[in-house]
Structure 1
Amino acid sequence: MAIFSRSGVRLGNLIKKTSRLCYVSQHTAVNAPQYVTAGCEEPTGPILRTSIPGPESQKLTQELDQIQNAGSVQFFVDYAKSQGNYITDVDGNVLLDLFTQIASIPIGYNHPNLLQVMSQPENLSTFINRPALAVFPPKDWVRHLKNALLSVAPPGMHQVQTMACGACSIEHGQKAMFITHQRKKRGGLPPTQEELTSCLYNKEPGCPDLTVLSFSGAFHGRTMGALGITHSKWIHKLDFPTPDWPMATFPKLKYPLHENERENMEIENRSLDEVRERIEEYNKRGRPVVGCCIEPIQAEGGDNFASPRFFQELQKICKENEVVLLMDEVQTGCGSTGKFWAHEHFDLPEAPDIVAFSKKMLTGGFYYKEDLRPKEAFRIFNTWVGDSSKVLLLEAVINTIKKYNLLDNVKETGQYLQNGLHEMEKKFPHCVSNVRGLGTFCSVDFPDAAFRDGVIMKLRNRGVHAGACGDRSMRFRPTLIFQKHHADIFFDAFEKTLQESSQ
């Protein structure tokens, strides 16, 4: 069987159930970029045996629901059979995965380079004996930190702290802000006895009333400190006590961008004015704003973008007010926008003060500037502060990204994906709107949530798995080895779904 791209160019014949990622146009196959192989094998396309969720998935969901709330389960997965860009469920359905475990699979399912890390005898003790890294790190820990995390550190950043997940990365990044602010307030002197005693009773001055500014639509995690700066959905926050911290409006840009430049600049200026006002308001109330936390692209909140100028001005405001700028790159980091870190698109005069990461980075953590480094041990701490086995895997991921030029692949495939989405927007203007993205980090809007959810379900039963975000958006979070022929498979299913949904 042969498949054709949207431009009509014949792609490589697909005659095996699995083959290497080398489906390129025949006229470019000889000089194909190195990244098209990426060392990974996968199915040639979706395979549907049942509706989704199938009977086995439904049975397992019912069993799980006897033990815990299983309302969020979409289907059960056979991870041993999932390969590359394809996820296989327990009923034997094979889906092209554009959501990838909520944006957390970097180079595909069961990538051989990662399997090799697991099989190397010298790595077994790291996987078996999870070290308490802050107290008893393994002998090769520094080497792996340098080869993995520090080799891709955001420009201008040389300090890193590992953590387990995105939420705790944000949580401990906030603690770094507070510690640094209070240390500067004391002029470098040790805390007073009153501070040492009062903090044990949640009282001032040991527990000062400090605040962190965040934005409407933000999502920074589900732990209590992270929830204080999260404003995306009620399901995240209802019934939980959260601090009264300042919030500014995140810009909601109008599309297409080139037709709305003046209005979008006004929208961003209003947001920046709010930032200044909130900082001044809370400082006057004796509740100083010591930090500002923002996503380069608001993901959970609906894939909301702002311009490089907005982030440049925001950093300027933070510098003027001695506010620590924390860039939450949990979902945007590790190359999905075409640069390793999304904030690199903004041409900031200097690095953010803190950059948090997780998801595709496989481990959590944050980079930080030297002045945010705690002076005392055990201030940024928990039993494991991350997982050394995940850093071993991350090292293999980074080597694969570099070897196969996967950031170039993301740029090229991302442009192809966005072009195709714009075609769909023109063909189905009453269904699809607001196409936007950087690299393969893309999304579209639909008339409402019900329409969006129906499209996602129909796509799934055509062999394509996508994700939702915001009030009415569908987001794309493919792997870094996602290719143009994968986009063609999606476009075929998407077009049929829109034709059916718009009738």
Structure 2
Amino acid sequence: MAFSLRTVLPRSIARPIPRIAPIALHRRYSSAGASAVAADNGEQPFFPDEPRAPIVKTQIPGPESQKAIERLSKVFDTRSLNMMTNYQRSYGNYIADLDGNVLLDVYAQIASIPVGYNNPSLLLAATSPEMASAIINRPALGNFPQHDWADILETGILSVAPKGLGQVFTAQAGSDANELAYKAAFMWKRQHQRGGSHIEFTDHEISSAMTNQSPGAPQLSILSFKSAFHGRLFGSLSTTRSKPIHKLDIPAFDWPQAPFPALKYPLDQFAAENAAEEQRCLEETERLIKEWHNPPAAVVVEPIQSEGGDNHASPNFFRGLRELTKKHDILFIVDEVQTGVGATGKFWAHEHWGLSSPPDMVTFSKKAQTAGYYYGNNELRPNKAYRQFNTWMGDPARAILFRAIVQEIKRLNLVENTAVTGDYLYNGLAQLAKKYPNEIQNLRGQGQGTFIAWDSGRRDEVLKRGKSVGINIGGSGEKAVRLRPMLVFQKHHADILLESLEKIFKS
């Protein structure tokens, strides 16, 4: 008899689950509120079984959460803990704790939840035989790729590849994706310097590499920008410039840091000043490319500097960067770990720029629930096996999940939803800014979906007070409040957020 995975899986695993919310959620949350929303504004909710509003029963953390935190702290570092979460009771745009509190989540696991907690479509993908096999038979993809790996990539990760970048190297996390892209850039640069991929390594290169000396370990660099965040591993950390706490006590590479434009707001009132600032930053970037003692093999940049304070620049600035990298024969890496997968009203944030040619590599993670970098140039493949390699080289289970995420995004037209909802939310915040000018300063993110932020003189208090009025919200940089809602965030959620923020501003 032919072997079938379905014959060895228990029925409870192999059977698809119904497309409904978890039973516990149905018992707790009434759809009456969502129906009222649809009647009021014509908007059809993506999660009809969500609560109609946040539920705040106790202070946060409440007594049950406090007990759980105390227990966890004995075996795990909880000093960065935001909230002890009950994921079995979290649903859609709402995050729940152990004390019956249910908050509107506009932080979404630091921008990492794409289509809602306990999304039924993802639950179906998670309980499929294909997923079960990927989890329990996790392959070392470089050596033993599963037979349908090409199909999984083509129908998922590569189906949303940035224009011109039809290949992918999968990874474990955002930091890992960036480091692998850096490695690819260095190998590409040295290959060009040697005269092509067919040129063999010299004995001197081979021996010096083993002692971390040049030429085997070349004196090259990756140029990044002030306030950038690209990860916390060794190479990515050397390009991270957001907060000292990330970098203290860790040896770092001698790599250059260019200034990122410090724009003034409102943008329409400072157009000339901002254009001059961007030109200044481009000129300094070019000077560093030409003069830095460890020449850059690539420039890496975030479309919006997220961890560093939600700093924006215009499409002209990024187009200028692209031209500089072409002029000086180095690579252009766009770090879309946080901005990618629909958050800015485009699937990839760099689509807003109108580039003359695609980036050389685009890194991704977070909302993709997997990681890696896209590329198009075959020269970015190392000339020999095992040069870009590790045991896992990604994870088919996470790639299958991303495929389901992509299907859900397309089914519900969530990129367009994010653009429309973002405009609605931005306009509401602009009205609040007029009413409370000391609370919302330098509002930014117009036309960038829900990727919106502003500065606050009492930022940390605003974040803390948020939970007391039913919202889970985050910050970035020294004083920015950043919004990172899910792609299923809609106008009626924006209304709740705006009302909750006004409660905070009045206090």
TM over 0.5: yes
Give the counterpart of 2:254 among 224, 244, 258: 244
Q: 1:37 offset after TM fit, Å?
A: 4.5
Which structure 2 residues correspond to residues 276-425 of structure 1 after superposition, within 5 A? 276-282=286-292, 285=293, 287-370=294-377, 371-425=379-433
* Contact kept? 2:29, 2:50, Cα under 8 Å: no
For 1:321, the aligned partner's letter is: H
Task: Return the alpha-carbon distance in structure 2 between the equivalents of residues 149 and 69 of structure 1.
Answer: 34
- Partner SS for 2:239: coil
1:82 is matched with: 90
1:96 aligns with 2:104: yes
8 Å contact 2:33–2:51 — kept in the other structure?
no
| Cα pair distance change 1:27/1:239, threshold 3 Å | closer
Aligned to 1:26: 39
Deviations, residues 457-484 of structure 1 (Å, cap 9, x unaligned): 1111111000010110010000101011
CA displacement, residues 233-256 of structure 1 (integer Å, 9 cap, x when unaligned): 011100111011111110011000
**Aligned equivalents of 1:314 and 1:121: distance in 2?**
46
SS of 1:339's equivalent in the other structure is: coil
Q: Which residue of 1 aligns with 2:499?
A: 492
Cα separation, 2, equivalents of 1:384 and 1:92: 39
Amino acid at match of 2:30: K
Secondary structure (helix, strand or coil) at the match of 1:444 reads strand
Aligned-residue offset at 1:174: 0.2
Alpha-carbon distance between aligned partners in 2 of 1:446 and 1:27, rounded to the nearest angstrom: 33
Contact 1:218 1:301 in 2 (8 A): yes
Q: Distance in 1 between matches of 2:404 and 2:35?
A: 21
Equivalent residue number for residue 456 of structure 2:
446
The one-letter amino acid paired with 1:314 is: L
Where does the alignment leave 5 or more consecutive residues of structure 1 unmatched?
1-14
Work out which of the residue numbers 59, 63, 69 in structure 1 matches 2:77. 69
Q: What secondary structure sits across from 1:441 in the alignment? A: coil
Structure 2: distance between partners of 1:247 and 1:24: 49
Is residue 357–residue 365 contact of structure 1 (8 Å, CA) maintained in 2? yes
The alignment covers a number of residue pairs equal to 475
- CA shift, 1:22, in A, is 6.3
Tell me which amino acid in the other structure corresponds to 1:294: V
Counterpart residue number, 1:458? 465
- Matched residues in 2 for 1:185 and 1:463: separation? 57
Aligned CA-pair RMSD: 1.6
Are residues 1:256 and 2:269 paired? Answer: no
| Residue 26 of structure 1, CA deviation | 3.2
Give the Cα separation in 2 of the matches to 1:440 and 1:475. Answer: 10
Question: Residues of 1 paired with 2:387 and 2:35: CA distance?
Answer: 49
**Secondary structure of 2:213's match?**
coil
Deviation at 1:46, TM superposition (A): 0.9
Give the corresponding residue for 2:489. Answer: 482
Distance between the aligned counterparts of 2:206 and 2:315, measured in 1? Answer: 43
Asked whether the equivalents of residues 40 and 112 of structure 1 are also in contact (C-alpha less than 8 Å), the reply is no
Tell me how far 1:23 sits from its aligned partner.
Answer: 6.0
Distance 1:57 1:197 in 2: 56
Determine the C-alpha separation between the residues in 2 that align with 1:349 and 1:385. Answer: 31
1:106, 1:360 within 8 Å by CA — same for their partners in 2?
yes
- Cα deviation for residue 403 of structure 1 reads 1.2
Identity score, percent: 46
Residue 268 of structure 1 corresponds to 278
What's 2:226 paired with?
216
| Residue matched to 2:175 | 167
State the Cα distance separating 1:27 from its structure 2 match.
6.9
| Superposition map of 1:420-439 within 5 A | 420-437=428-445, 438-439=448-449
Q: 1:312 to 1:129 in 2, by over 3 A?
A: same
- 5+ unaligned residues in a row in structure 2: which ranges? 1-27
Match of 1:143 in 2: 151
* Deviates further, 352-361 or 366-375: 366-375
TM superposition shift of 1:18: 4.2
Q: Distance in 2 between matches of 1:176 and 1:191?
A: 17
TM-score for the superposition, normalised by structure 1: 0.92
Residues in 2 aligned to 1:347 and 1:208: alpha-carbon distance in whole angstroms: 34
